[in-house]
Amino acid sequence: MVLSGGKAAATPHAPAAPRARLSLETGGRSGEESRAPLAGVRVAVLNFREPQQSVAGGAEEYAWQVSRYLAGQGATVHFATSREPGQARTEHLDGITLHRMGNRYLVYLLVPLWLLLHRRAFDVVVDSMNGIPFFSPLVVRRRTSVVCLVHHVHDRQFYAFFPAWLARIGCFIEGPVARLLYRRRTTVTVSESSRQELRTRLRWLAPIQVVPNGSPAARPVQRRGTVAGDPALVYLGRLVGHKRVDRVIGLAAELSERHPGLHVHVVGRGPESEALVAFAAERGVTDRVHLHGFLAEPEKNAVLGSALLNVTASEFEGWGLTVIEAAAFGVPTVAYDVAGLRDSVRDGVTGWLVREGQTLAEVVDRAIAELSDPARRAEIQQACRVWAGEFTWGRTGATITRLITTELPRSDRRRWAAGAARPLTGTSDLRLAVGETDPT
CATH number at residue 130: 3.40.50.2000
Q: For residue 15, say if its preceding peptide bond is cis, omega within 30 degrees of 0.
A: no
| Assigned domain for 10 exists | no
Q: Are residues 186 and 238 in the same domain?
A: no
**Contact (CB, 8 A) for 342 and 333:** no
Question: CA separation (Å) from 4 to 267, 295, 305, 313?
Answer: 7, 6, 13, 17
Closest CA to 334 of 262, 251, 259, 269: 251
Around Cβ 199, how many Cβ atoms within 10 Å? 12
What pLDDT, on the 0 to 100 scale, is given for residue 167? 86
Burial of 238 by CB count in 10 Å (0-12 exposed, 13-18 middle, 19+ buried)? buried
Residues 324 and 420 in one domain: no
Domain count, the chain: 2
The pLDDT value given to residue 304: 92
Same-domain pairing of 302 and 376: yes
Whether residue 219 is contained in a domain is answered as no
Cβ neighbors of 160 (< 8 A, separation 6 or more) are 241, 242
Q: Are residues 48 and 197 in the same domain?
A: yes
Q: Quote the pLDDT of residue 375.
A: 96
Q: Confirm whether 136 is domain-assigned.
A: yes
pLDDT (0 to 100) of residue 103? 93
Domain range for residue 248? 232-389
The structure's pTM equals 0.77
Q: Are residues 242 and 286 in the same domain?
A: yes
Residues 140 and 270 in one domain: no
Q: Tens place of pLDDT for every residue, the chain, 440 residues?
A: 444 444 433 333 333 443 333 333 333 444 444 468 899 999 999 999 999 988 888 889 999 999 999 999 999 999 999 999 999 999 999 999 999 999 989 999 999 999 999 999 999 999 999 889 999 999 999 999 999 999 988 877 787 778 888 889 989 999 999 999 999 999 999 999 999 999 999 999 999 999 999 886 655 444 444 788 889 999 998 898 889 999 999 999 999 999 999 999 999 988 899 999 999 999 999 999 999 998 988 899 999 999 999 999 998 788 888 999 999 999 999 999 998 899 999 999 999 999 999 999 999 999 999 999 999 999 999 999 999 999 999 999 999 999 999 988 754 555 555 444 333 333 233 223 333 333 33
Residues 309 and 290 in one domain: yes
Q: Is residue 439 part of a domain?
A: no
| pLDDT, position 413 | 53
Same-domain pairing of 301 and 400: no
Q: Do 373 and 407 share a domain, yes or no?
A: no
240 vs 206: CA distance, rounded Å: 31
Residue 28: how many CB atoms within 10 A of its CB?
A: 8
CB 248, CB 313: distance < 8 Å: yes
405 and 385 in a common domain:
no
Cα(66)–Cα(77) distance, rounded to whole angstroms?
Answer: 10
Q: Which strands sit side by side in the sheet containing 124-128, from one edge to the other?
A: 90-93, 96-100, 76-81, 42-46, 124-128, 145-149, 187-189, 208-210
What Rg, from alpha-carbon coordinates, does the chain have?
22
Question: Looking at residue 315, what is its pLDDT?
Answer: 83
Can you give the pLDDT at residue 27? 38
Q: Please indicate, yes or no, whether residues 83 and 156 belong to a single structural domain of this protein.
A: yes
In a domain, 16, yes or no: no
For residues 350, 51, 96, 150, the Cα torsion angle rounded to the nearest 10 degrees is 60
